[in-house]
Amino acid sequence: MSDEELIKSKVGTGNPFKVPEGYFETFQQQLLSSLPERPSMDEEPARTRVWGRARRTWISVAAAFVGVVVLFATLHQMNVTKESVALATADEMAFTEDEMAEYMASSVFDDYTLYSYLTNEE
Amino acid sequence: MALNEELLLRQLREPKTAQSAFAVLVKEYTEPLYWHLRRMVLDHDDANDLLQNTFIKAWTNIDGLQGNSKISTWLYRIATNEALTFLNRQNANDIVSLDNEEGTAVNLEADEYFDGDELQRRFQEALQTLPPKQRMVFNMKYFDEMKYEDMSEVLGTSVGALKASYHVAVQKIAAFFQDDI
């Protein structure tokens, strides 16, 4: 016989304790009628929690928007700078089509001389 | 009646249904928690106080109930902590001599809410010689037939340690009865 079986054979698993009559029913009624306020049940903290969550979301959205704006602004500035450099160079080194056409029309070179000039023939 | 724990948990967390859901909880667990406490502290009035404390703490700390915990083990954990705290405080304040081995038996004999015979009184005396937490393990296994896995959640102790603790407790109590033979 195991030790546990020995104990059970002597005293079993019954309950030798008693309670006053009607104790459990009375207990339940008294307890439920005297429950304190639950802090987590208040609306204010719930609103704060909701507002906190919404505010965090809006801050995230705003931060993302600002980030995108800054990025575009930076990229735009970079393009403007490149374009300005390109235009400046072009201004210094290139003729427009109209300017070329006018030059050709007003050229004092005859066709032969012009051809020679263009082909570097002497 | 088997409780739908998931539904009950949702209702406990919802302000509109929390009170009625808690009433269901109280109705379901008053008796098992009471006997869990009574076997530890022996006195009815002490068990009643601890039971009230247990439910009030449960009511004010519903948020502490995690979704993966059973409501029963959560309640037993609160009750167990109440009992152990009470017993530690009682031991610290106890002015009864440690040589007075008949203390518990004498108290139970005079207790109008104890209905056991002499063998039962001596059984309770033997249980009182166990350290409080070991006595808790013995009670939960022997009387409540609680699974070790559930007990582990209640007491925060590994299943292996609980099995060992119960084995030792049973040996001690059985030796007490063997001395009687």
In angstroms, the separation between the Cα of residue B67 and the nearest Cα of chain A is: 17
Which of A15, A32, A39 faces B35 most closely, judged by CB atoms? A15
The predicted complex's ipTM stands at 0.83
Among A60-74, A103-117, B42-56, B96-110, which is the least confidently predicted range? A103-117
Residues in B closer than 8 angstroms to A38, CB to CB, are: 18, 59-60, 62
Could you tell me the residue ranges of all domains in chain B? 1-95
Residue B104 — very low, low, confident or very high, per pLDDT cuts 50/70/90? low
Minimal C-alpha gap between B59 and chain A (Å): 7
Average pLDDT over residues B130-135: 95
Give CA–CA dist B79/B59, Å, rounded: 13
Q: Which residues of A touch B30 (CB under 8 A)?
A: 24, 27-28
Tell me which chain B residue has its CA closest to the CA of residue A20.
B113
Cβ pair B170:A3 closer than 8 A: yes
pLDDT, tens digit, 9 for 90 and up, residues A29-79 = 999 999 887 765 444 444 445 455 666 667 777 777 777 777 877 777 766
Q: Would the pLDDT of A113 be above 80? A: no
Chain A contact set for B142 (CB, 8 A): 4, 7, 13
Q: Identify the residue with better confidence: B62 or A95.
A: B62
A16 CB contacts (<8 Å, ≥6 apart)?
B114, B115, B116, B117, B120, B121, B124
The top-level CATH class assigned to B1-95 is: mainly alpha
Give the pLDDT of residue B59. 93
In Å, how far are A87, B124, B128 from B101, measured between CA atoms?
A: 107, 12, 10
Pick the residue from chain A with its C-alpha nearest to B126.
A7
Measured CA to CA, the distance from residue B56 to residue B82 in angstroms comes to: 12
Share of chain B above pLDDT 70, in %: 87
- Dump pLDDT digits (tens) for B21-48: 999 999 999 999 999 999 999 999 999 9
B60: Cβ contacts below 8 Å, ≥ 6 apart: A36, A38, A39
* Mean pLDDT for chain B overall: 87
Q: Which residue of A has its CA nearest to B113?
A: A18
